[in-house]
């Protein structure tokens, strides 16, 4: 399948624009949502966004301050849920079987990166229980190797408190997002060439942890943490 059937990777569709407007107002009011480091994400070009996973809010929290869409990977079972499935299909999401990631899904993700999309993955594979970053599953390494792509580490803090497991309603908690310094393929290639996949997984996990630690420290700052590098969208 060619990339001709894919939408533009540089601008969001009408559904996402409406979605973004509503969430922007909701999250800024209810969660006192802030993000920084957005300048690390270029306006064009493919890449792999890797973030820690705290709640069902995470895809929205990471994508909200960007002016371009993120094509996330989500459980295929969610696509069968009424309304949710329709939204996922119209917001650039790719289905994946968590027990057995198919070669077709991998090819689709690579095709999207080559087309210029940001592809978003939560390498922990499941939401945290306590806010800490868990072990990373190594599946994303194949994406880096085959797409020869830049990795953008992202840290999320406070989302597990705002929408804990089994909760149905948002709690009044501060949420912060930090976009870290990108990791180019040239930086990651030496470990790939040496076959040090697990070492590479831990290296990238540490970079995500640094972002998460910064986001958590920012979230806990007295007075809301208003600083020069704070970005609001």
What global pTM score does this model have?
A: 0.90
Query: Cβ contacts of residue 212 below 8 Å, gap of 6+?
Result: 52, 133, 155, 156, 157, 178
Q: Token pair of 202, please?
A: 């831990």
Q: Token pair of 219, please?
A: 């979230």
Would you say 61 and 164 are in contact if contact means Cβ atoms under 8 Å apart? no
Give the strands of the sheet with 230-231, arranged side by side.
94-96, 70-75, 118-121, 47-51, 151-157, 176-179, 34-36, 230-231
Per-residue pLDDT of the chain (233 residues; tens, 9 = 90+): 556 688 889 888 888 888 888 888 899 999 999 999 999 999 999 999 999 999 989 999 999 999 999 999 887 888 888 877 888 888 888 887 765 557 888 899 999 999 999 999 999 988 998 899 999 999 899 999 999 999 999 999 999 999 998 888 999 999 999 999 999 999 999 999 888 999 999 999 999 999 999 999 999 997 655 544 444 44
**Would you state the pLDDT for residue 17?**
85
**Would you state the pLDDT for residue 227?**
47
Q: Which domains occur in the chain, in start order?
A: 34-225 (3.40.1130.10)
């Amino acid at each position: 399948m060619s990339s001709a059937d894919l939408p533009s990777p540089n601008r969001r569709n009408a559904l996402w624009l409406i979605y973004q407007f509503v969430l922007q107002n909701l999250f800024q009011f209810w969660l006192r949502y802030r993000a920084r480091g957005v300048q690390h994400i270029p306006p064009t070009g493919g890449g792999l966004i890797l973030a820690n996973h705290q709640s069902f809010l995470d895809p929205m929290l990471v994508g909200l301050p960007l002016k371009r869409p993120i094509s996330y990977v989500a459980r295929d079972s969610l696509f069968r849920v009424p309304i949710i499935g329709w939204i996922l299909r119209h917001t650039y999401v790719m289905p994946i079987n968590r027990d057995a990631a198919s070669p077709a899904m991998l090819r689709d993700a690579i095709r999207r990166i080559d087309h210029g999309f940001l592809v978003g993955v939560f390498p922990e594979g499941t939401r945290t229980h306590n806010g800490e970053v868990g072990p990373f599953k190594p599946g994303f390494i194949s994406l880096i190797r085959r797409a020869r792509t830049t990795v953008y580490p992202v840290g999320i803090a406070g989302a597990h408190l705002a929408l804990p497991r089994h909760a149905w309603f948002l709690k009044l908690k501060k949420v912060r997002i930090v976009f870290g310094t990108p990791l180019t393929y040239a930086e990651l290639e030496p470990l790939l060439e040496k076959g040090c996949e697990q070492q590479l997984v831990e290296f990238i996990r540490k970079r995500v942890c640094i972002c998460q630690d910064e986001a958590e420290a920012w979230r806990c700052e007295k007075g809301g943490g208003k600083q020069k590098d704070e970005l609001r969208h």
